[in-house]
């Protein structure tokens, strides 16, 4: 299709984004998200949940951009000091960008253009910033055909970004935040403000928007696994909004993504909680001398643990930390694996739970 008419500022026409079908799906999505927010509070240590879900999202969101890694590679890379392959580095940078964004909104409660640049720079690891050179087009991977031409001039990009942030930081309409989330995501991807990393930055902004609007307390809902599973429709509906101004199918898609991933995350949280309880009981029964609440929580925060982690968390000497991990290995809670010079201790039951996909 090539060039389109100038990208319009927000908000879109209300009757296009509040259809009967959209409102019907909205109530299901809101209910699932409310349940997720409630159940997340019941995990005794929020770091367990944040670490697990953030890494899954980093992996899935990067996969949308054809950066493929395994969960196993990622945990090993985080736990050990070894050399990391480029795709693993990219996913770990993405994970860092999520935490960077979360800290920004926790302390500020809003985002500025320079914050968007900080998030994108953390993912991509360069300082190119907002696009200034014209010529960026989006092409079909298979055919090479131009499917979309985003705004080209830096002034127009900044004007659209400022308009986007007004609606992001302070919902200017009384649209439901979940409908607004879908609209904002489409607008950000259409502005396409950076040379690289727009998709990944946009998916981080989704979670930050849910937190700003108090729909979640921590970054624990991610749409990338759903998008991965339904990738062709994601791009089809996004393009449809720009080509025809038709919002319904795209907003329904995003609302469905919220409902399904919220339900999936609820299930995963229940499995983690159950496994935590089983592990605590087993250690109390079979290795009571090494039982410490903080130690068991650490094994759920860091599915690949090592002596240093235990030393730091429990403030014990290396000899004691080593003994604790070996005892837990002896009773079958952990398995050990040598990576280079380090020994990592794997919480295999938790890793199995975390590796199940949507």
pLDDT digits (tens, 9 = 90+) for 122-139: 999 989 999 998 888 888
Tokens of 202: 């946009």
Q: CB neighbours (10 Å) of residue 15?
A: 8
Closest CA to 3 of 246, 250, 237, 242: 242
How do the domains of the chain map onto residue ranges? 14-267, 270-355
* Average pLDDT of the chain, as a whole number: 92
* Predicted local confidence at residue 1, as pLDDT: 39
pLDDT digits (tens, 9 = 90+) for 297-306: 999 998 899 9
| Higher pLDDT among residues 248 and 79, named by residue | 248
Closest CA to 42 of 269, 332, 328: 269
pLDDT digits (tens, 9 = 90+) for 182-227: 999 999 999 999 999 999 999 999 999 999 999 999 999 889 989 9
Answer whether residue 94 shows pLDDT above 60: yes
Answer whether residue 4 shows pLDDT above 70: no
* Predicted local confidence at residue 45, as pLDDT: 85
* Predicted local confidence at residue 81, as pLDDT: 67
| 345 DSSP 8-state letter | E
| 230 DSSP 8-state letter | T
pLDDT digits (tens, 9 = 90+) for 28-68: 999 999 999 999 999 888 888 888 778 888 888 888 888 88
The string of DSSP letters for 74-118 reads HHHHHHS-S---HHHHHHHHHHHHHHHHHHHHHHHSS--HHHHHH
* Coil, helix or strand at residue 62: helix
CA distances from 67 to 54, 60, 64 (A): 16, 9, 7
The string of DSSP letters for 124-168 reads H-----B--SS---EE-TTT--EEE----SHHHHHHHHHHHHHHH
Q: Note the pTM of the prediction, 2 decimals.
A: 0.93
Closest CA to 101 of 91, 114, 88: 114
Tokens of 234: 């994601």
If you classify domain 270-355 with CATH, what class do you get?
Answer: mainly alpha
CATH, range 14-267:
1.10.3290.10
């Amino acid at each position: 299709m090539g060039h389109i008419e100038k990208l319009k500022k927000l908000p879109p026409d209300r009757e296009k984004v509040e259809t009967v079908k959209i409102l019907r799906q909205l109530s299901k999505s809101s209910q699932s998200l409310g349940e997720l927010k409630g159940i997340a509070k019941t995990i005794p240590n929020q770091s367990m949940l944040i670490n697990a879900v953030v890494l899954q999202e980093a992996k899935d969101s990067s996969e949308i951009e054809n950066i493929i890694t395994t969960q196993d590679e990622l945990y090993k890379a985080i736990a050990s000091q070894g050399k990391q392959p480029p795709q693993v580095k990219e996913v770990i940078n993405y994970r860092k960008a999520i935490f960077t964004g979360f800290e920004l909104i926790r302390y500020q409660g809003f985002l500025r253009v320079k914050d968007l640049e900080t998030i994108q720079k953390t993912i991509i690891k360069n300082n190119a910033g907002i696009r200034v050179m014209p010529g960026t087009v989006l092409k079909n991977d298979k055919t090479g055909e131009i499917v979309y031409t985003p705004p080209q001039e830096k002034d127009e990009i900044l004007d659209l970004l400022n308009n986007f942030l007004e609606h992001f930081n302070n919902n200017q309409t009384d649209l439901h935040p979940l409908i607004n989330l879908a609209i904002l995501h489409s607008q950000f991807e259409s502005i396409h403000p950076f040379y690289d990393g727009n998709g990944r930055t946009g998916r981080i902004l989704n979670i930050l928007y849910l937190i700003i609007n108090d729909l979640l307390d921590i970054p624990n809902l991610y749409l990338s696994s759903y998008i991965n599973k339904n990738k062709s429709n994601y791009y089809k509906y996004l393009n449809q909004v720009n080509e025809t101004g038709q919002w319904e199918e795209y907003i329904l898609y995003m609302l469905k993504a919220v409902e399904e991933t919220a339900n999936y995350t609820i299930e995963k949280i229940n499995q983690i909680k159950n496994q935590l309880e089983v592990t605590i009981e087993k250690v109390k029964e079979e290795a009571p001398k090494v039982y410490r609440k903080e130690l068991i929580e650490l094994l759920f925060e860091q599915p690949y643990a090592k002596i240093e982690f235990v030393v730091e968390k429990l403030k014990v000497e290396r000899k004691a930390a080593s003994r604790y991990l070996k005892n837990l290995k002896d009773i079958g809670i952990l398995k050990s694996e040598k990576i280079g010079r380090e020994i990592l201790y794997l919480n295999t039951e938790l890793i199995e739970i975390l590796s199940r996909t949507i």
